[in-house]
Chains A and B, each alone.
Chain A
Amino acid sequence: MPNTGTLIVGAGHAGAQAAAALRQFGYEKPITLLTEETDPPYERPPLSKDYLARDKTFDAILLRPATFWASKNITLTLGQRAVAIDAAGHALHTADGTAIAYETLIWAAGGHARRLACTGHHLTGIHTIRTRADVDLMQAELAHTETVAVIGGGYIGLEAAAVLRKLGKSVVVIEMQDRVLARVAGPALSRFYEEEHRLHGVTLLLNTAVECIEERDGRAAGVRLANGTIIAADMIVVGVGIIPAVGPLREAGAAGANGIDVDEHCRTSLPDIYAIGDCAAHINPYAPAGQRIRLESVQNANDQAATAAKSIIAAATGAPAPHYDAVPWFWSNQYDLRLQTIGLSTGYDDTVLRGDPAARSFSLIYLRAGQVIALDCVNATRDYVQGKPLVVNRRIIDKALLADTAIPLKTHG
Chain B
Amino acid sequence: MPILTVTNLAGATRDVTASAHGSVMEAIRGAGFDELAALCGGCLSCATCHVIVHPDDFARLAPMSADENDLLDGSDERTPTSRLSCQIPFTEALSGLRVTIAKDG
Contact = CB atoms under 8 A, between A and B. Distances in A.
B56 interface: no
Nearest to B23: A60
A28 to B, nearest CB: 15
A23 interface: yes
A68 B45 contact: no
B50 to A, nearest CB: 13
Interface string B44-83: 1110000000000000000000110011011000000000
A331 B34 contact: no
A109 B40 CA distance: 20
Contact of B41 (A23, A61, A71, A384): A61
Contact of A65 (B31, B35, B71): B31
A338 interface: yes
Nearest to A385: B74
Interface string A369-392: 000000000000110111010000
Interface string B1-35: 00000000000000000000010001001111011
A331 B43 contact: yes
Given A24-B34, A65-B30, A386-B74, 18 more contacts: A49-B43, A50-B41, A50-B43, A60-B22, A64-B29, A64-B32, A65-B31, A72-B34, A298-B40, A302-B37, A340-B45, A381-B44, A381-B67, A382-B73, A385-B71, A385-B74, A386-B73, A388-B74
A329 interface: yes
B65 to A, nearest CB: 9
Interface residues of B, number: 22
B41 A43 contact: yes
A149 interface: no
Interface in A21-73: 23-24, 43, 45-46, 49-50, 60-61, 64-65, 67-68, 71-72
Nearest to A410: B73
A331 B46 contact: yes
Contacts of B26: 60
Interface of A: 20, 23-24, 43, 45-46, 49-50, 60-61, 64-65, 67-68, 71-72, 298-299, 302, 329, 331, 333, 338, 340, 381-382, 384-386, 388
22 contacts: A20-B34, A23-B34, A24-B34, A49-B43, A50-B41, A50-B43, A60-B22, A61-B41, A64-B34, A65-B30, A65-B31, A67-B32, A68-B34, A298-B39, A302-B39, A329-B46, A331-B46, A338-B44, A338-B45, A382-B73, A384-B70, A385-B71
A385 B67 CA distance: 10
Nearest to A23: B34
Contacts of A68: 32, 34
A331 B74 contact: no
Interchain residue pairs A-B with the least CB separation, the first 9: A331-B45, A385-B74, A381-B67, A382-B70, A381-B70, A68-B32, A43-B41, A20-B34, A385-B70
Nearest to A71: B32
B32 A65 contact: yes
B60 to A, nearest CB: 24
A313 B44 CA distance: 33
Contacts of B35: 24
Contacts of A65: 29-32
B89 to A, nearest CB: 14
A178 to B, nearest CB: 29
Contacts of A61: 41
A24 B36 CA distance: 11
Nearest to B35: A24
Contacts of B43: 49-50, 331, 333, 338
Contacts of B70: 381-382, 384-385
Nearest to B44: A338
Contact of B39 (A20, A24, A299, A381): A299
Nearest to A382: B70
A49 B42 CA distance: 13
A24 B35 CA distance: 8
Nearest to A383: B70
A367 to B, nearest CB: 22
A178 B45 CA distance: 29
